[in-house]
Structure 1
C-alpha cells in the first residue's frame, strides 16, 4: 500500500513539475514563446503566465494576455507584488485584445 501511495504522489506531482519546466524552457527564447502561443495546450497558459509575470518577460506577458484562452484572467493575487512595468504589459495586452474585439469581422 505504501508503494502504491508513493507512485500516486509521483504521478500527481510530475505533471506540475513538467509544466514548470516547459514554461521556464519556453521563456528562455521570448520570440519563440510568443510564436508558439497558438499551438500550446491551454493547460500551459496559467503556468506560463506566472513564469512570465515573475520573470518580468513583458513581451511574452502581453502576448499571453492577448491569446488568453479562458474567460477570466485573475489578476487580484498578482497585485500583492506590483511591478509597474509588468502590470503595464498586462494592461497593454488587454488594450490590444479589447481593440480587436471592437473591430467588425
Structure 2
C-alpha cells in the first residue's frame, strides 16, 4: 500500500493542479484587466459570460466602483446573487452595485 500511495500521490497532485490553475489564471487576468478600469469597462461587451462572475468578485473585493457599476449594467445572467455581499463592510462598493442596478432597471433595452 505504501507503493500505491506513492504512485497515487503525484497523479492526485497533478489533478488538483489542473483544476486550480485555471481559477488562479482567471483571477490574475481579472486583476490585470481591472488595473485599467476604463479598458475593463470597454471590454465588457466582448467578454465571455463565464468571466463575469469572477470579474465581478474581483471588482468588488478590489473596490473598483466604476467597473463594478458597469459589470452590473452588462450582467448577462438572470440573477445577480448579492446575498453574500450584503455582509461586507464595503458600503461605498455596495453602493456602486446598487447604482448599476438602478441604471439597469431604468433601461428599456437590456444588454445581451
TM beyond 0.5? yes
How many residue pairs get aligned? The number is 103
1:14-93 aligned at under 5 Å gives the runs 14-93=21-100
Gaps of 5+ in 2: 1-7
For 1:98, what is the secondary structure of its paired residue? helix
**In structure 1, C-alpha distance between the alignment counterparts of 2:61 and 2:9, rounded to whole Å:** 37
Q: TM-score, normalised by structure 1?
A: 0.90
Q: TM-score, normalised by structure 2?
A: 0.85
Across the aligned residues of Structure 1 and Structure 2, the Cα RMSD in angstroms comes to 1.6
Deviation of 1:4 after TM superposition, in Å, equals 2.0
Gaps of 5+ in 1: none
Q: Which has the larger radius of gyration?
A: 2
